[in-house]
Amino acid sequence: MGNSTVSSSPQDARPATLASAAMNALNLNDSPWAAATLIGTILVASFVLHTIVEWYRLSHIPGPFLASVTRYWTIRESLNGRLPQSLKKLNDKYGPLVRIGPNDLITSDVNVLRKMMQVRSPYTRGPWYDAWRLDPTRDNLFSMRDDVAHTALRAKMVPGYSGKENLSMETTIETNITRLINLIEKKYISTSKEYRPMDFAAKGQYFTLDVISELAFGEPLGYLERDGDLYDYLKITAASVPAMLVLSCIPTLANMIQSRFLRFLLPKETDKIGFGAFIGVTNRVVAQRFKSHDPDGQQDMLSSFIRHGLNQEEASGEALLQVVAGSDTSATTIRGVMLYLMSNPPAYKKLQAEIDEAIAVGKISSPIKDSEARELPYLQAVIKEGIRILPPAGGAFFKEVPTGGDVICGKFVPAGTQIGGSALAIQHDKKTYGEDADFFKPERWLDDDVEKVELMKQTVDMVFHSGKWQCPGKTVALMEFNKIFVELLRRFEWSLVNPFQPTKINNAGVWLFDDFYVCVTRRGSDEQNA
């Protein structure tokens, strides 16, 4: 056998690539295992190089080293239900801008969030939002990342949320408060002869689910009437929302699961329970409304959406978002305020005294009107403090730094970086709220320092976000809060069943309450309670 002839053509004279040189040197064509080893080495080296480049890109921003090279830290804290608390600890330790992932930053500077959320801000929603498609087949107002499409869709929906086209909004909330009171009277009043503990975690969300579904569709889903977890909603939420939070940390995986090839693993409208059942309910209601061709037939949010141009697919997606997002966040504040009031007897008695005095002088109706509630200073202080002490949505809501990068908290942040808000750190900031910021203290809102109180109001209002991403359900939520605490405290006395562990709370973007057992008695003499 002779030696191979070397070609003198220009094509054959080109330099060998690194890979081909290595293959020839190691004679890998004759050794599959050696080839596999080399390929594996190249892949590992590429991963290590990519990790180093990603780390270096934001290496000037402080944070735990583990979080700078992997998303494991964020995933771990999310799975443990303590991400908001962990983010606050990082801000307390490192300052207002902290690195919590290879491409993720968190800030406790409320002015940074305001800047990002301005109507004409070049910031856009980051990949974090991809995991929050409640129906995997379509985006909703919350998950939509296209700014132009989001603005157009939001403009069609704001009138329905504001109450201007739903004149029965206040009456609807009052009706469902009456349903809650009747349920308590019928099944959960304790007396000297009978003990009937009530899980307020469940009842609080039954109330918000019925309110938002009646506002959305014209009739409640019926949680309070049946006093049960229809479609296993609370149970499924406790299991699935944490998974969605973890997926938000890994957007690529979220998009992969939501693809048409793996979509069968996710909720679908034919399901009998959980999110899938809700998808089915909303799709049927919306389909019937479009079939009737009478958007003015019912004065609810859905009719408003249709009048302003939402098509059937958009209306279905937004109806589902209304029920899920509108019930979970409002329920958090209602549960949280009641928990903190029962844990703080002076605040409880002070609010109850304000209510009693207002009744005695004829300042409030039965049920109380929204306009009347706004004139009760301590009630407003309690509501603001409840929203502040436990911000109802604990997610980071990551936004993407625009082209050209930006200077944030004195540090340059390159384009494409995700930056989110640390809600607990912002709302527990001692510079804004005082050294006792971690303590439930409604009196802070009645301070004589007008400028200080105004700064606090502007800060707590960021719980609802601002600008182009302000929560459209803010009006509904505040009206619920203005009414429900007055009606619960004017009629009943409330106490914790287990002061040592009054409830179990975990966070999965929203706060999940479980086993929040309370003892409810009628207000009045012992004879009335017997």
Residue 128 inside a domain? The answer is yes
Specify the higher pLDDT residue, 296 or 323: 323
**Radius of gyration for the alpha carbons in the chain, expressed in angstroms and rounded:** 28
pLDDT tens for each residue of 47-93: 666 667 677 899 999 999 999 999 899 999 988 889 999 999 999 99
Q: For residue 237, what pLDDT is reported?
A: 78
Residue 99 inside a domain? The answer is yes
Residue 201 inside a domain? The answer is yes
Mean pLDDT of 463-489: 95
Alpha carbon distance 327, 241 (integer Å): 14
Residue 20 inside a domain? The answer is no
Number of alpha carbons in the 13 Å side-chain half-sphere of residue 86: 21
| Helix (H/G/I), strand (E/B), else coil: 97 | strand
Specify the higher pLDDT residue, 460 or 54: 460
DSSP result, 329-371: HHHHHHHHHHHHHHT-HHHHHHHHHHHHHHHHTT-S-SSPPHH
Asked if the model's pLDDT at residue 529 lies above 70, the reply is no
Residue 37 inside a domain? The answer is no
Asked if the model's pLDDT at residue 180 lies above 90, the reply is yes
Long-range contacts made by residues 153-158, C-beta under 8 angstroms, separation at least 24? 153/310, 153/314, 153/318, 154/468, 154/472, 155/308, 156/305, 156/308, 156/309, 156/310, 157/304, 157/305, 157/308, 157/310, 157/318, 157/472, 158/472
pLDDT tens for each residue of 428-448: 999 999 999 999 999 999 999
Asked if the model's pLDDT at residue 520 lies above 70, the reply is yes
Alpha carbon distance 404, 266 (integer Å): 38
pLDDT tens for each residue of 353-389: 999 999 999 999 999 999 999 999 999 999 999 999 9
Alpha carbon distance 486, 395 (integer Å): 29
**Does 471 appear as a known binding residue?**
yes
CA angle 215, 383, 174 (to 5 degrees): 30
Nearest to 325 by CA among 152, 170, 129: 129
Residue 273 inside a domain? The answer is yes
The enclosing domain of 274 has a CATH number of 1.10.630.10
Residue 347 inside a domain? The answer is yes
Asked if the model's pLDDT at residue 264 lies above 60, the reply is yes
pLDDT tens for each residue of 96-142: 999 999 999 999 999 999 999 999 999 999 999 988 887 777 888 99
Asked if the model's pLDDT at residue 319 lies above 50, the reply is yes
Where in the sequence is the domain holding 407, given as residue range(s)? 52-529
pLDDT tens for each residue of 276-302: 787 888 888 888 888 876 656 677 888
Alpha carbon distance 407, 97 (integer Å): 11
Asked if the model's pLDDT at residue 275 lies above 90, the reply is no
User: Per the structure, how many domains does the chain have?
Assistant: 1
Q: For residue 438, what pLDDT is reported?
A: 96
Residue 27 inside a domain? The answer is no
Q: For residue 20, what pLDDT is reported?
A: 55
Confidence tier at 16 by pLDDT (50, 70, 90): very low
